[in-house]
A and B are shown apart, each in its own frame.
Chain A
Amino acid sequence: MAGRPEPETDAGTATGAATPGTGHAVATPGTGTSAEDITVERPSGPYRSATRTAFTDATGSPAGELSLAPPLLIRQVINEMRAAPEQPTAERLAALARAGELFATATLEGETPDAYCRRQALVSGLPVSVARRTLDRVARTGRAAADTLAAQRPTGAVPLDELSAGATTAVWARKGDVLGVLAPGNHPATHLEWLGALALGHRVAVRPSQRDPFTPRRLVRALREAGLAPAYTALLPTTHEHAEALVEQADLGLVYGGDGVVARYADSRRVLAQGPGRSKVLITRDVPWRDHLDTVADAVAADAGVQCLNASAVLCEDDPQGLARALADRLGRLPLLPPDHPGAVLPVRPLDEARRLAEQLHDTVGTQLAAAPDTDPAERFFADLGDGSAVLRPVVVALDSPRDPHFGAELPFPYVAVAPWQPDLRPSAFGRTLSLTVLSEDAALVRECVASPRIRNVHLGDVPTHWTRPGLPHDGSLAEFLMESKTFAAEPAEPAEFSQSAEPGTAAVRNPAG
């Protein structure tokens, strides 16, 4: 079995000790975060819209005001982005590297890294440690931007900047200039994706989620401070109703959503939809699951279990019921803390939302829970923090078969379905899987998993599903969507027998390469 790759992983804390020494005081929720505006960011700078809406924190209390961009403003801003002059690649890459450092360490428009982490945690309800690790992930992604760019380019194609007039070659070119991003709010690191588009030379207009306007705002500030031309980024908060205008006005779109959104854009060549990850762990009989419980629990619950890369299903050949119970026991001991507590590891949502979620869970998988029997039924799915919010508890369900309709559900907290694996099942039976951790000695099975078009990433051994490193594809490389190879064929420097025919349309018909 392959050894675990070098410790680039930045999660792995959910099942062990929380990140020690996060260095900020535990404050009472609701204090310290002053209500503040999130403005539109235009190329000309921050812009306070005349149409605004309040947004709330995880307790449901008002947290600030969001400037809203109606379709006309979206159009104006995208036109401004398009009209601005190009910035050379080297300058952009330098700005990206520096922006990563600034995001992680600098005070930007008065916002310290600590203040950012705290705001992000209180509004999103995610443990503050998630934002804290995101600081470092942004720094590493910025540093790696140049290498990532080079690694993603087809080896047979030259970048447009390096094209010489006399060449005949494949060129790697952008499919459009402006990328519109409808950002999700589940995890701040989702914003790492569009940094790659800036490296490629796209201008990026982001619609932030109301649950996390702080991460893209800090990114835009860091990028501009680092010297990226301001027209390369825009922040365009808008209503759900008008979000579509951003994708329509931009040349290309990157949208996040559920199965409906994915289906809607399935045939689009212009819009890439990223949906539920349905990441999984597969453990065959030749590997004892007890030796890998840490990896499985980590895959399920790292970063509060909110990523598409977190495992939402486990297939286990030997004693799946036992694994489900052990997993429920392990996850059931995670601390129940408010989001700004340095030891927090689980997501926090407004109480009414937690109640609705609990009702749904009770109605759907209430009889299939693998939880310890002494759990108080009223508190089975959440813990009331008494401030209007509740911690969502991990849920492990034990299913008789991966064909159970509840297999493959993905929820915004540590939720996993454990089902038996049988050797006659094939990876094609998985359904779409973003990330699969295989714990198996069966080399043929592993190979089959890697070959399957329905499985996007395969991790072998104790590499949890959510492991990532800048430069490696996440759901393919974004560049595969944003760029294309095209032919540039120039007339040879010494045209020996160029036709002088006056007939239009015939003059250029020749083979420039030969």
Chain B
Amino acid sequence: MRDVDAVLGTPWHELPSADAVVAAAMEWHFDPATGSRFWVERAASLPFDPRKDITTLADLNRFPDVSAEWRDVPVEDLVPAGLRGLGRLPAVWESGGTTGAPKRIVDLGQWERNTRWWSEVLDQHGFPSGDGNLLFLGPTGPHVVADALRGLARLRGAVFFPVDLDPRWVRRCLQDGQSDIARHYVDHILDQAEWVLTSQNVSLLYATPPLLEAIAERPRLAGLVRDKVRGIMWGSTSIDPETLRLLSGEVFPDAAVSGLYGNTMMGAAPQRPAAPGDTEPCVFQSFHPYVHLSLLDPDDLSREVAYGERGRVCMRQLSPEVLLPHVLERDTAVRVAPVPGFGGDGVADVQPFTDGGKKIIEGVY
């Protein structure tokens, strides 16, 4: 009998090699006894046998990108058979819906493990713990990020103060050219943030870069953040390097500012602390080896770009509950060599991918 936790769920301090995880994941997800209906049935139409032919990370390129199919697969089909009957129902999270109907993913603990690791990375950044509460400005609803932040708050002894935000509505406003409504909505969110900050002991803040910029535009609110918050987490949309430098250096100079890259399918890839020789101010690391990021040449997706070069982000997830062997993200980033303490390549300066077609509207989330 396979013990899924032996490989796929090992604590990250004693990580197996990436290729060992690949092999274990193929065994787990394609064995009819443990795999999901989606993958076990899908195996029949693949021109290779995953359990025999896929042994390395590079081999995962042979899989098609199936993530778009997860827009309409019944979620029961996504739950691995080996995880049924454990007395737990999966949580289901939906993607932002930036590029069409949302994709769905099942979660039976992967996000929680990911968040525990993220919290340790925040310790390395000097974020407060057991000392003040967390204000979260972001989506709840079908989106995972609020749940992850609620978990993070618990881990750091912080009361969780969420302010809700519907990112799909914001994007719809922007798509329809109704930027006035989007701006009005941002004001509505910031009013609520101001009420929390005025009366509560808040030392941690999670917000998207557009919301942080909007906070900077409101002197009283910006003053409250400057006075109270000692750790700012930003994520969910990209940020240009100069705006990041201004936010951390001029607008909120006394707070630790740390980014989070990621999405519903990828999980959380937190910014790692600066390392000697860094040329990029902000490098993200995925939850290695369960989530692996490769940066591919946009003109030849079979080729990884060299360190220091920009490529299209390709994400692979190999967790007990999720197999996503090959997902092309809507982002580009610069490839950064691994550093001690973190597995796998880092990615930096994440920007939306444009191929000259329709512009992706990121919105405020």
Contacts and interface: CB of A to CB of B under 8 A. Distances in A.
Is the pairing of A and B real?
yes
Interface of A: 49-51, 68-73, 75-76
Given A72-B247, A76-B250, A51 B217 contact: no
A310 B255 CA distance: 56
Nearest to B210: A71
Contacts of A72: 213, 216, 242-243, 246-247, 251
B177 to A, nearest CB: 13
A237 B321 CA distance: 48
A76 B247 CA distance: 11
B213 A50 contact: no
A51 B242 contact: yes
7 contacts: A50-B241, A51-B240, A70-B240, A70-B243, A71-B213, A72-B246, A72-B247
Nearest to B246: A72
B318 interface: no
Contacts of B240: 50-51, 68, 70
Of the listed residues B213, B243, B247, B251, the one surrounded by the most CB atoms of chain A closer than 10 A to its CB is B243
Nearest to B244: A50
B250 A68 contact: no
A5 to B, nearest CB: 48
B354 to A, nearest CB: 12
A69 B246 CA distance: 11
A51 B241 contact: yes
Given A70-B240, A72-B216, A72-B243, A50 B281 contact: yes
Given A68-B242, A70-B246, A75-B217, 17 more contacts: A49-B242, A50-B240, A50-B241, A50-B242, A51-B240, A69-B242, A70-B240, A70-B243, A72-B213, A72-B216, A72-B243, A72-B246, A72-B247, A73-B242, A73-B243, A75-B216, A76-B251
- Of residues A50, A69, A76, which shows the largest number of chain B Cβ atoms within 10 Å of its Cβ? A50
Contacts of B243: 51, 70-73
Interface string B217-228: 100000000000
Interface of chain B: mostly helix, strand, loop or mixed? helix
A51 B351 CA distance: 12
B245 interface: yes
B245 A50 contact: yes
A75 B243 CA distance: 11
- Ordered nearest first, which 4 A-B pairs have the shortest CB separation? A50-B241, A51-B242, A50-B242, A70-B243
Most central of B242, B247, B251, B281 by chain A CB within 10 Å: B242
Contacts of B241: 50-51
Contacts of A69: 242
A218 to B, nearest CB: 24
Contacts of A49: 242
A70 B245 CA distance: 11
Nearest to B359: A241
Best-buried of B240, B241, B245, B250 by chain A (most CB within 10 Å):
B240
A49 B243 CA distance: 9
Contacts of B217: 75
A138 B92 CA distance: 66
Contacts of B245: 50
Interface string B102-132: 0000000000000000000000000000000
A49 B242 CA distance: 6
A51 B238 CA distance: 13
Nearest to B247: A72
A69 B240 CA distance: 10
A241 to B, nearest CB: 9
A498 to B, nearest CB: 40
A61 B117 CA distance: 47
B77 to A, nearest CB: 41
Nearest to B209: A72
A16 to B, nearest CB: 46
Interface string B237-265: 00011111111001100000000000000
Contacts of B213: 71-72
A364 to B, nearest CB: 26
Nearest to A49: B242
B296 to A, nearest CB: 24
Nearest to A71: B213
B333 to A, nearest CB: 15
A188 to B, nearest CB: 27
A73 B244 CA distance: 10
Contacts of B250: 76
Interface in B294-350: none
Nearest to A69: B242
A73 B242 CA distance: 8
A485 to B, nearest CB: 33
A75 B218 CA distance: 12
A349 to B, nearest CB: 22
Contacts of B251: 72, 76
